Amino acid sequence: MQEKKISIVIPLLNEQDNLEEIIFRLKSQFQKLNNFTFEIIFIDDGSTDNSWKIVEKISSENDNIFGFKLSRNFGHQLAITAGLEKSSGDAIIIMDADLQDPPEVILQMIEKWQKGFKVVYGKRKMRKGESRFKIWTAAVFYKLINRLSDTPIPLDAGDFRLMDRQVVNELLRLPERNRFVRGLVSWVGFKQTTVEYIREERFSGKTKYPLSRMISFALDGITAFSKKPLQIAMKLGIFSIFIGLVMVIYVLISKIYYPETTISGWASMLITVVFFGGVQLLTLGIIGEYLGRIYDESKKRPLFIIEKETGGK
């Protein structure tokens, strides 16, 4: 039987304390599989700690470990894209360096890939060490994007997944700059399935996704896969016109039939200005979000820049 090659793509940002452990656990899984070769690809997304030095050291000691250092922090999704571009496996597995995605799940993913599935994504059935707020906001995000988007995105599934080479090749053909990888994987289609797992606490270090980045990530996902916010903006405009007409009719009736009770005041005027001003600003904000993404795409800049690379003995 011809050997199949598996590529493990690991984007990282300031994960110096996790790298030795993830290599140890990955190698222990590789030893359980026959007729497979493996490569590990680290993408350093602008780390400021010793992560890159450790990657250089590890890659010099192993002929199947490679590292690519981006010239700055381009973001998690573009780091993943860089790793996919540099991979050469028949199947590619994306996982983070914090060990919240357990390497032990890889064997189940490969098993389902061998049964003919082109994408096998990890579905979290439990999240250890995460606050109720984060779990709640994640649930709201997935429900919201599935309600707005025409492309269904699996609930409780992150970027931890296995993809067949054919799927990766199609992903790399997609030109957009503001990438939402898990959405793109759903969009390209192919036969997909899940592997459920318990998401562990971080092995070491702090999360790289504070609330501000989570909101930005959610906006990327929604604007990349849905035009419905623009339709909502139009409906808000129509609704505000309707409210304005109702208020005009009310004022006219009051002036004609109840002139003695009509009191000129600032309150009604203030409410009107605030309401219409809020609708206009919200609508402009939604349109601006889409225009900004069109502007980014029009510049045709490269998705990322590789400053250094290391690999093999």
Q: What is the CATH number of the domain that holds 140?
A: 3.90.550.10
C-alpha span between 291 and 10 (Å, rounded): 32
Could you list the beta-strand ranges (E) of 165-262.
192-199
Q: What is the mean pLDDT of residues 119-140?
A: 69
The CA distance from 223 to 217, in Å, is 10
For the ranges 39-53, 139-153, 192-206, 295-309, the one whose mean pLDDT is highest: 39-53
The confidence band for 43, taking pLDDT boundaries of 50, 70 and 90, is very high
Structural domain that includes position 114: 4-226+302-311
Better-predicted residue by pLDDT, 162 or 283: 162
**Which helix (H) or strand (E) element contains residue 123?**
strand 119-127
232 and 248 belong to one structural domain: yes
173 plus 291 within the same structural domain: no
- 192 with 282, same domain: the answer is no
Tell me how long the chain is.
Answer: 313
C-alpha closest to that of 202 among 252, 256, 134, 148: 134
Asked if residue 224 has pLDDT above 80, the reply is: no
Q: How confident is the model at residue 92 (pLDDT cuts 50, 70, 90)?
A: very high
| Rounded CA separation 174/170 (Å) | 7
The answer to whether residue 128 scores a pLDDT higher than 70 is no
**Is pLDDT above 90 for 162?**
yes
Same domain, 206 and 244: no
Q: Is the pLDDT of residue 137 over 60?
A: yes
Looking at the fold, whether 124 and 258 belong to one and the same domain comes out as no
First CA to last CA distance, the chain: 27
Q: Give the model's pLDDT for residue 46.
A: 85
Return the pLDDT at 308. 87
215 plus 257 within the same structural domain? no
Share of the chain above pLDDT 90, in %: 11
Mean pLDDT, all residues of the chain: 77
Domain count within the chain = 2
pLDDT at 106 (0 to 100): 87
Pick 42 or 205 by higher pLDDT: 42
- The average pLDDT across 213-221 equals 61
Residue-level pLDDT at 166: 92
156 versus 190: the higher-pLDDT residue is: 190
- 200 and 68 inside one domain: yes
Rg, Å, the chain Cα set: 25
Q: What is the mean pLDDT of residues 18-29?
A: 86
User: 129 with 239, same domain?
Assistant: no
- Ranking 67-76, 128-137, 276-285 by mean pLDDT, the lowest is 128-137
Residue 144 and residue 146: Cα distance in Å, rounded? 5
Whether pLDDT at 93 is above 90: yes
**Cα separation, 112 vs 218, whole angstroms:** 30
Residue 15: pLDDT band (50, 70, 90) is confident
- The answer to whether residue 60 scores a pLDDT higher than 60 is yes
Q: Any idea which of 104-113, 206-215, 227-236, 278-287 has the lowest mean pLDDT?
A: 206-215
43, 83 contact by CB (below 8 A)? yes
* Token digits of residue 18: 């996790």
Enter the pTM of the model: 0.69
